[in-house]
């Protein structure tokens, strides 16, 4: 039973990481590609870490929670690096996809 | 007394919990060592913490974290679908989000949350801290997206920190 739950979690994690990488590879401009890694680092890594915590908690009999820390550190560092890259890209005017909506289009 | 020893109670508590999680143990020695670290690290780093972090309603913070985790899961599925099916029809856009928040910690938490939710990345904060520039992978209705972020994330943060 536990094995089934673990397998499902790992497959979910692998699937979202794959979609994230696919996005990173195939999307049209730098800003859109930035969305790939933020996806992969949330649900993708999250599901795999939950699987890891469950596996080691049941295997050793002790609660294994340091996976929570990996999630915490990822959740702090991933958005900061994405923010810095986006800010730097805006600053040096990296090419935008021509369909990109800007705030000036709205007014 | 307690205030003098732990000038930043939340930071101390977080450090203590992180130390115990890092070592993955509740052994007495580590509980003590962690407590000592939780006391000394805020002292050494006091100059980085110029403003006091005030969390007015901790239980709302817990609720906020739960909402964010739920939103992350929903958005993950939505964005995965977008990437797999509508890749060529995506309509990316920059969104200007007017901020009601004033505390720097609340703003950085909001920016972090926006970046963590798939489909949106916060790119820049205006000089006067009144606008957050967000890049969205697929915008159907700009006002709707802005309202969604404001209602789901900004409102609770405002209640917690202001």
Residue A42, chain B, CB below 8 Å: the answer is yes
Q: Which pLDDT band, with edges at 50, 70 and 90, does B2 fall under?
A: low
More confident residue, B130 or B49: B130
**Taking a C-beta distance cutoff of 8 angstroms, is the pair B123, B135 a contact?**
yes
Q: What angle do CA A17, A22, A25 make, to 5 degrees?
A: 130
Q: Calculate mean pLDDT across residues B28-49.
A: 83
Picking from A22, A27, A101, the nearest residue to B91 by CB comes out as: A101
Q: What is the mean pLDDT of chain B?
A: 82
Domain check: are B68 and B148 in the same one? yes
pLDDT tens for residues A52-96? 888 888 888 777 778 888 888 888 888 888 888 888 888 888 777
pLDDT > 90? residue B4? no
Task: Flag if B18 and A101 touch (Cβ within 8 Å).
Answer: no
Asked whether residue B149 is assigned to any structural domain, the reply reads yes
Residues contacting residue B56 through CB under 8 Å, at least 6 positions apart:
B159, B160, B161
**Taking a C-beta distance cutoff of 8 angstroms, is the pair B44, B36 a contact?**
no
Asked whether residue A25 is assigned to any structural domain, the reply reads yes
Task: Provide the number of structural domains found in chain A.
Answer: 1
Size of interface A-B (CB pairs under 8 A): 114
What is the predicted pLDDT for the residue at B98? 85
pLDDT > 70? residue A107? no
Asked whether residue A91 is assigned to any structural domain, the reply reads yes
Domain check: are B87 and B133 in the same one? yes
pLDDT tens for residues B90-139? 888 888 888 888 888 888 888 888 888 878 888 888 888 888 888 888 88
Q: What angle do CA A31, A33, A38 make, to 5 degrees?
A: 100
Q: Calculate mean pLDDT across residues B45-54.
A: 72
A66 to chain B, minimum CA–CA distance in Å? Answer: 5
Picking from A29, A32, A79, the nearest residue to B115 by CB comes out as: A79
Picking from B76, B93, B123, the nearest residue to A42 by CB comes out as: B76
Q: Calculate mean pLDDT across residues B13-31.
A: 84
Asked whether residue B54 is assigned to any structural domain, the reply reads no
Domain span at residue A6 reads 2-95
| CA dist A59 → A48, A56, B51 (Å) | 16, 5, 45
Residue A73, chain B, CB below 8 Å: the answer is no
More confident residue, A10 or B43: A10
Q: Among residues of chain B, what percentage have pLDDT more than 90?
A: 0
Q: Which of A106, A97, A74 is nearest to B90 (CA)?
A: A97
B139 to chain A, minimum CA–CA distance in Å? Answer: 8
Q: Which of A43, A40, A34 is nearest to B73 (CA)?
A: A43
Task: Provide the number of structural domains found in chain B.
Answer: 2
Please give the residue of chain B at the shortest CA–CA distance from A84: B123
Domain span at residue B10 reads 2-48
Task: Flag if B90 and A28 touch (Cβ within 8 Å).
Answer: yes
């Amino acid at each position: 039973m536990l094995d089934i739950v673990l397998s499902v979690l790992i497959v979910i994690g692998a699937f979202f990481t794959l979609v994230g990488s696919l996005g990173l590879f195939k999307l049209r401009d730098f800003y859109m590609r930035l969305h790939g890694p933020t996806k992969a680092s949330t649900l993708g890594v999250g599901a795999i870490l939950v699987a890891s915590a469950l596996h080691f908690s049941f295997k050793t009999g002790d609660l294994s929670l340091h996976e929570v820390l990996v999630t915490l550190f990822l959740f702090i560092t991933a958005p900061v690096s994405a923010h810095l890259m986006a800010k730097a890209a805006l600053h040096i005017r990296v090419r935008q996809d021509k369909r990109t909506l800007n705030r000036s289009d709205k007014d | 007394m307690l205030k003098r020893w732990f000038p930043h109670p939340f930071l101390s508590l977080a450090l203590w919990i992180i130390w115990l999680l890092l070592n993955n143990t509740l052994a007495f020695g580590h509980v003590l060592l962690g407590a000592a670290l939780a006391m000394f690290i805020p002292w050494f780093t006091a100059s980085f913490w110029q403003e006091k972090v005030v969390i007015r309603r901790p239980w709302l913070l817990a609720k906020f974290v739960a909402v964010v985790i739920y939103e992350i899961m929903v958005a993950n599925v939505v964005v995965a679908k977008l990437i797999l099916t509508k890749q060529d029809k995506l309509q990316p856009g920059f969104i200007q989000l007017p901020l009601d928040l004033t505390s720097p910690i609340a703003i950085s938490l909001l920016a972090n949350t926006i970046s963590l939710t798939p489909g949106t990345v916060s790119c820049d904060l205006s000089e006067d801290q009144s606008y957050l520039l967000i890049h969205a992978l697929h915008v159907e209705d700009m006002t709707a997206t802005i309202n969604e972020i404001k209602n789901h994330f900004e409102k609770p943060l405002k209640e917690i920190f202001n």
